[in-house]
Amino acid sequence: MENLRSAKAVGVEFEWSDQKVENLANKISETHAEGPSGDATGATSTNDDPGEDSSDTRRVTDEPLHESIDAQRDTAIELAKTAPFAGVIAIFIELEREVGSLLTAHGIEWRGSPLLALRRAKDIPTNIKSFVQELASLRNAAAHGFKDISLDAAMNYIEATSELAKDISSMAAHVRMERGQDSLSNGENILNQP
Question: Cβ distance 160 to 24 under 8 Å?
Answer: yes
Separation between Cα atoms, residue 102 and residue 104, nearest integer Å: 5
21's CB contacts (< 8 A; 6+ apart) are 138, 153, 156, 157, 160
Q: pLDDT per position in the chain (194 positions), as tens?
A: 333 344 444 344 556 677 778 877 778 877 666 655 443 333 333 333 334 333 333 334 445 678 889 999 999 999 999 999 999 999 999 999 999 999 999 999 999 889 999 999 998 999 999 999 999 999 998 888 866 889 999 999 999 999 999 999 999 999 999 988 655 544 343 333 34
Question: In the chain, what is the greatest distance between 2 CA atoms, to the nearest angstrom?
Answer: 66
Domain ranges of the chain: 21-36+87-181
φ and ψ at residue 8, rounded to 5 degrees: -130, 125
pTM of this structure: 0.69
Separation between Cα atoms, residue 157 and residue 162, nearest integer Å: 8
φ and ψ at residue 15, rounded to 5 degrees: -150, 140
Per-residue pLDDT at 24: 78
Question: Cβ distance 94 to 102 under 8 Å?
Answer: no
SS3 of residue 6 by DSSP:
strand
